Structure 1
Amino acid sequence: MTHIRHPRQGVSRRRLLQAAAGLPLLAACHDSTPLRPESAEQRVFQHGVASGDPLADRVILWTRISAAQAPATVRWEVYRDPFLTLRVTQGEGEVSGDSDGCYKVDVSGLDAGRTYYYRFLALDQVSPTGRTRTLPRGAVERLRLAVCSCAYLPDEPGTRFHNAYGQIAQRADLDAVLHLGDYVYADSDLSLAEYRARHAQYKAQSAELREAHRQHPFITVWDDHETTDNCWQDGGYQPPDKPLIPFAERKQNAMRAYHEWLPIRTPDPADLGRIWRSFDFGDLLTVVAPETRLHARAAQAYSFNRVGSPIAGAEGRELLGAEQMDWLRGTLRAAPTQWKLFMNPVQIGQLYAGLPDEEGGGTRYRNMDQWDGYAAERGRLFDILDGADGGAPVQDLIFMTGDWHCQFANDVLRAPYGAAYRERGEGVLGTEFTIPCVSSGLEGYEPAELFAANPHFKNHEFPARHGHALVDLRRDTATVEFWHTDTVETREHRYRLNVGFPLTAGANRIGELLRTPTPTNTEAPSLAP
Structure 2
Amino acid sequence: MSLPPSNRRSFIIRLSSISAVLSTGGVLSACGGGSDDGSPVQRSVSFNYGVASGDPLADRVVLWTHAKYGDFDANSDDVTLTWEVASDAAFSHIVSQGQVTATASQSHTAKVDAGGLQAGMQYFFRFRSGSDISPVGQTKTLPASGVQNVKLAVLSCSNYPAGYFHVYAEARRSGAEYALHLGDYLYEYAAGGYASQDAQALDRVVEPTHAILNLDDYRRRYAQYRTDPDLKQLHASMPMIAIWDDHEIANDAWTDGAENHDDATEGPYAQRVAAALQAYHEWMPIRLDSSGEQSKIWRSFDFGNLLSLHMLETRITGRNEPVSIADLTNPATAGQALAELLSPTRQMIGQEQQAWLTQQLHGSSATWQVLGQQVLMARMEFPVSILQHLNAENMDAQAQQAAIASIEAYLTAKATAAQAPHLLTPEQAALLDLRLNPKIGYNLDAWDGYPAAREAILQTAHQLGKKLLVLAGDTHNAWHSDLMLLDGTTKVGEEFATSSVSSPGFEDYLSGIEPALIQQAFLGVIDSLKFLDTQSRGFLLMEFTPEAATGSWHAVDTVKSRSYRAQQLHTASMV
TM normalised by structure 1 equals 0.81
Q: Deviations over 1:165-211 (max 9, x none)?
A: 1122234x42211111000102421100001111111001x110010
Residue pairs, 1:309-388, within 5 angstroms: 309-354=338-383, 360-387=436-463
3-state SS of 1:243 partner: helix
Distance 1:245 1:270, change over 3 A: farther
Greater share of residues in helix: 2
- CA shift, 1:340, in A, is 1.6
Structure 2 residue identity aligned to 1:271: E
Shift of 1:259: 0.3
Task: Read off the aligned partner of 1:406 and give its amino acid letter.
Answer: N
Q: Is the alpha carbon distance of 1:398 and 1:323 closer, same or farther for their aligned partners in structure 2, counting shifts above 3 Å?
A: same
In structure 1, stretches of 5+ residues that fail to align are: 1-32, 422-426, 505-529
Task: Measure, in 2, the Cα distance between the counterparts of 1:495 and 1:39.
Answer: 31
Q: Greater relative contact order (Cα 8 A, min sep 6): structure 1 or 2?
A: 1
Distance in 1 (alpha carbons) for counterparts of 2:154 and 2:186: 16
Please give the alpha-carbon distance, in whole angstroms, between the structure 1 residues aligned to 2:297 and 2:53. Answer: 17
Q: Is the 8 A contact 1:45 1:66 kept in 2?
A: yes
Alpha-carbon distance change, 77 to 270 in structure 1, aligned in 2, over 3 angstroms:
closer
Q: Do the aligned residues in 2 keep the contact of 1:61 with 1:106 (CA within 8 Å)? A: yes
Separation in structure 1 between the aligned mates of residue 281 and residue 247 of structure 2, nearest angstrom: 15
* Residue among 255, 275, 284 paired with 2:277: 255
1:496 Cα offset (Å): 1.3
Structure 2 Cα separation of the partners of residues 355 and 237 of structure 1 = 23
Q: Is residue 60–residue 141 contact of structure 2 (8 Å, CA) maintained in 1?
A: yes
1:369 positional shift: 0.3
Query: SS state of the match for residue 551, structure 2?
Result: strand
Matches within 5 A, 1:74-113: 74-113=81-120
User: How far is 1:382 from its partner?
Assistant: 1.9
Which residue of 296, 307, 310 maps to 1:274?
296
Q: How big is each residue's C-alpha offset from its partner over 1:411-458, in whole Å with a ceiling of 9 and x where there is no partner? A: 001147x5xx4xxxxx11000112111001122561221122200001
Secondary structure at 2:254 match in 1: coil
Distance 2:31 2:61 in 1: 29
Amino acid at match of 1:38: S
Q: Decide whether the 8 Å contact of 2:81 with 2:101 is kept in 1.
A: yes
Cα deviation, 1:227-275, whole Å, max 9, x if unaligned, reads 0000001111346799321111110000000000000000247421000
The alpha carbon displacement at 1:277 in A equals 0.3
Structure 2 regions of 5+ residues with no counterpart? 1-23, 33-43, 70-74, 190-210, 387-429, 508-514
Query: Structure 1 residue aligned with 2:165, among 136, 150, 162?
Result: 162
The equivalences for 1:401-480 within 5 A come to 401-415=472-486, 418=488, 421=489, 427-443=490-506, 446-462=518-534, 464-480=535-551
Quick one: structure 1 residues 345 and 323, their matched pair in 2 at CA, closer, same or farther if it must change by over 3 Å? same
Q: d(CA) in 2 for partners of 1:304 and 1:240?
A: 21
Quote the Cα distance in structure 2 between the aligned partners of 1:194 and 1:110: 36
Alignment partners' CA distance in 2, 1:40 and 1:243: 45
Alignment correspondent of 2:554? 483
- Residue type of the partner of 1:460? L
Paired letter, 1:348:
M
In the alignment, which residue of structure 1 is the partner of 2:155? 148
1:53 maps to what in 2?
55
Contact 1:65 1:122 in 2 (8 A): no
* Aligned counterpart, 1:175: 177
Asked if structure 2 preserves the Cα contact closer than 8 Å seen for 1:55 and 1:135, the reply is yes
Structure-1 residue corresponding to 2:21: none
- Matching residue of 2:195: none
Contact 2:179 2:239 in 1 (8 A): yes
**Measured at CA, do residues 39 and 77 of structure 1 come closer, stay the same or move farther in structure 2, by a change above 3 Å?**
closer
Q: Cα gap change, 1:198/1:375 in structure 2, threshold over 3 Å: closer, same or farther?
A: same
What CA distance in whole angstroms lies between the structure 2 residues aligned with 1:469 and 1:482? 5
| Largest Rg, 1 or 2 | 2
CA, structure 1 residues 37+108, in 2 after alignment: closer, same or farther (shift >3 Å)?
Answer: closer
* 1:453-473, Cα deviation, whole Å (9 max, x unpaired): 2000011123x1001000111
Residues 86 and 92 in structure 2, CA contact (< 8 A), matched pair in contact too:
yes
Deviations 1:328-381 (A, max 9, x none): 011112112111211120011111234756683522320110111111111211
Work out the CA distance in 2 between the residues paired with 1:493 and 1:116: 31
Q: Work out which of the residue numbers 242, 253, 258 in structure 2 matches 1:231.
A: 253
Does the CA contact (< 8 Å) of 1:304 and 1:312 recur in 2? no
Select which of 179, 187, 203 maps to 2:226.
Answer: 203
Q: For 1:341, what is the secondary structure of its paired residue? A: strand
1:64 aligns with 2:66: yes
> Which digits, 9 at most, give the CA deviation of each residue in 1:102-138, with x for residues without a partner?
0000011111110000110026410111000001111
The DSSP-based 3-state class of the residue aligned with 1:265 is coil
Rounded to whole Å, the distance in 2 between the matches of 1:449 and 1:168 is 30
Give the secondary-structure state (helix, strand or coil) at the position aligned to 2:259: coil
| Displacement after TM superposition at 1:285 (Å) | 0.8
Q: Secondary structure of the residue that 1:213 maps to in structure 2?
A: helix
**Which residue of 212, 235, 238 maps to 1:189?**
212
Paired residues, what number? 452
Describe the superposition over 1:18-62 as per-residue Cα deviations: whole angstroms up to 9, x where unpaired: xxxxxxxxxxxxxxx974473664971110100000000110000
CA RMSD of aligned residues (A): 2.2
Distance in 2 (alpha carbons) for counterparts of 1:356 and 1:160: 36
In the alignment, residue 46 of structure 2 is paired with which amino acid? V
Mapped contact 2:549–2:574 kept (Cα < 8 A):
yes
Could you tell me how far apart the structure 2 residues matched to 1:374 and 1:451 are? 22
Identity over aligned pairs, percent:
32
2:137 maps to 1:130: yes
- The amino acid that maps onto 2:29 is E
Would you say the 8 A contact 1:354–1:450 is kept in 2? no
C-alpha distance in 1 between matches for 2:265 and 2:384: 43
SS of match in other structure, 1:292:
coil
Question: Which secondary structure does the structure 2 equivalent of 1:310 belong to?
Answer: helix
Name 2:40's counterpart in structure 1.
none
Residue type matched to 2:185 in 1? Y
Deviations 1:374-421 (A, max 9, x none): 11111211220221xxxx222x211111000111111001147x5xx4
CA contact (8 A) 1:354 1:449 kept: no
Matched, 1:38 2:40: no
Q: Output the CA distance in 1 between the equivalents of 2:255 and 2:104.
A: 28
